[in-house]
Amino acid sequence: MPENISVRYTEDEAGYISVRPVVRQSFQLAELADMVVSVAGKNAARVAQIFRAGTVVYNGYRYWWEGFSAQHDEISALLAPFPEDDASRPFRAEEVAAVILETGGGTQRTAVELTREEADRRRLLRRRTPWDCLLELARASQPHYESYSYAQRGDLYRASLSFDAGSQLLRELLEAAPRSLRVRLAALRPLAALIFLCPRARGERLSLDVRKA
């Protein structure tokens, strides 16, 4: 496999011909793998397929390069440093960086992600923030381990909610939320589950420098 890959990218226009400028950048193989794994997961066959196809959509940008092939053992060695699911990792509320509010299920599933920064703002004259409400429930319910998310670079923990508990939590969030967040939450149905994201440090984790076109 090539050690350096010439990559072009532009904002993805969902199938339409883009008039935005194309940016060229040289990626190391490990950097390209880091981006592809964020989309495909730690799946050697899928990663090899994307390498051959020479294109991927990531964070609203479409990247393309001259496709190349690789042996299964080469791909496996390349993916070895990436994290695995680890159900032995205990949930720690203080490590949560974001919470996904999930409503409905199946084709009716809706998910809204709140970061600590946006949910930890206090409404005027209110004692609690929305973040306080979410972490209080987390500590009381002890979410169970679900999986490692390569896209979000962290472990996911799920807490399922009854209809009554989901309705009560949504009311508490609306009561505590400042106006900008309240607008986002107002359209939600009673919450069915919360998914807590706890980032995991990875040795020498690559940070992609994706410059805006």
Residues 147-190: pLDDT tens digits?
Answer: 999 999 999 999 999 999 999 999 999 999 999 999 999 989 99
Q: Looking at the structure, tell me whether residues 51 and 105 fall in a common domain.
A: no
Q: How far apart are CA 113 and CA 170, in angstroms?
A: 14
Q: How many CB atoms lie within 10 A of CB 182?
A: 15
Q: Is residue 162 in some structural domain?
A: yes
Looking at 79, 114, 137, the residue that finishes a domain is 79
Q: Is residue 206 in some structural domain?
A: no
Q: Is residue 130 in some structural domain?
A: yes
| 42 vs 123, residue with greater confidence | 42
Number of structural domains the chain divides into = 2
Q: Looking at the structure, tell me whether residues 75 and 97 fall in a common domain.
A: no
* pLDDT in the model for residue 45: 95
Q: Looking at the structure, tell me whether residues 40 and 97 fall in a common domain.
A: no
- Sequence-distant (6+) residues with CB within 8 A of 84 are 42, 148
Beta bridge partners of 110: 103
Q: Is residue 85 in some structural domain?
A: no
* pLDDT in the model for residue 19: 62
Looking at 79, 109, 140, the residue that finishes a domain is 79
Q: Looking at the structure, tell me whether residues 97 and 190 fall in a common domain.
A: yes
Nearest residue to 197 (alpha-carbon basis) of 128, 129, 137, 150:
150
179-180-186 Cα angle (round to 5): 75
Reply yes or no on whether the pLDDT at 90 is more than 90: yes
Q: Looking at the structure, tell me whether residues 103 and 177 fall in a common domain.
A: yes
Q: Is residue 208 in some structural domain?
A: no
Q: How far apart are CA 186 and CA 188, in angstroms?
A: 6
- pTM beyond 0.85: no
pLDDT category at 207 given cuts 50, 70, 90 is very low
Element holding 154 (H helix, E strand): strand 154-160
Q: Is residue 84 in some structural domain?
A: no
* pLDDT in the model for residue 108: 77
Q: What percent of the chain has pLDDT over 70?
A: 91
* pLDDT in the model for residue 201: 75
Q: Provide the residue range defining the domain that includes 116.
A: 93-199
pLDDT category at 206 given cuts 50, 70, 90 is very low
Q: Are 200 and 153 in contact (CB under 8 A)?
A: yes
Q: How far apart are CA 55 and CA 22, in angstroms?
A: 14
Residues 122-158: pLDDT tens digits?
Answer: 887 778 999 999 999 999 988 999 999 999 999 999 9
**Both tokens assigned to 174:** 């609306």
